[in-house]
Amino acid sequence: MPRRKYQTAEEVRQARRAAHSRWERTNRDKVNAGRRQRYHGVSHEKTEASRRRATERLRGIIFRRYGEMCACCDTTERLTIDHIGAGGLRHRKEIGRTGGAGAFYRWLMFMYLPPGYQTLCMLCNQTKGQGERCYLDHSVGALSYKEQHRLHKNSKSREAYARQRQDVKDGN
């Protein structure tokens, strides 16, 4: 019976590792190209898609807890989480979560969805950020969300917004 080259499985593994290391040293450009492709290719896109799905799951849990409509105008469009006591930007800087909504959602989950937050639409949250409360007109027959957003975006102050809103209502 002929003698086998390797006696144990460990010897086989060591020989394969040594052969692979020799191949990597002689083919460094192929190794680097493969690494670049894995980093910049499909795996990076999959990671980003996975992160988006995870953020959407968190978003659903958070909005079920704090409300699925704006606490100010009852819309369900473009919802955000608002700090009730103001100081949201300062708070996000303190906790180190200025990297967007996903980072803030993860912090809320980590803190077991604490009290002191509410759901507001983007427009109400922006106007509340300019004062103590939202100054938009949410009465029956008021302008649509898109019309109010356009007026708010073009006005520099509450007074300018009120004048523009009145002009639109009057048909001017």
pLDDT at 1 over 60: no
Calculate mean pLDDT across residues 145-162.
Answer: 70
- The verdict on residue 60 lying in a domain is yes
Whole-model pTM: value is 0.62
Q: Count of domains in the chain?
A: 3
Range of the domain at 141: 135-172
- The verdict on residue 157 lying in a domain is yes
pLDDT at 118 over 90: yes
What's residue 117's pLDDT?
92
- The verdict on residue 130 lying in a domain is no
For residue 23, CA distances in Å to 20, 26, 33, 37, 110 come to 5, 5, 15, 19, 46
- The verdict on residue 129 lying in a domain is no
- The verdict on residue 107 lying in a domain is yes
Which residues lie across from 83 on neighbouring strands? 117
H/E element, 84: none
Same-domain pairing of 32 and 92: no
Same-domain pairing of 69 and 110: yes
Same-domain pairing of 59 and 103: yes
pLDDT at 157 over 70: no
- The verdict on residue 48 lying in a domain is no
Calculate mean pLDDT across residues 80-94.
Answer: 84
What's residue 95's pLDDT?
79
Same-domain pairing of 67 and 100: yes
pLDDT at 140 over 60: no
CA angle 147, 151, 157 (to 5 degrees): 150
What's residue 47's pLDDT?
77
Same-domain pairing of 68 and 114: yes
pLDDT at 6 over 70: no
* Poorest-pLDDT segment among 3-7, 22-26, 52-56, 140-144: 140-144
Same-domain pairing of 118 and 72: yes
What's residue 158's pLDDT?
65
Which residues lie across from 81 on neighbouring strands? 119
- The verdict on residue 91 lying in a domain is yes
- The verdict on residue 22 lying in a domain is yes
* Poorest-pLDDT segment among 58-62, 90-94, 143-147: 143-147
Same-domain pairing of 24 and 78: no
pLDDT at 99 over 70: no
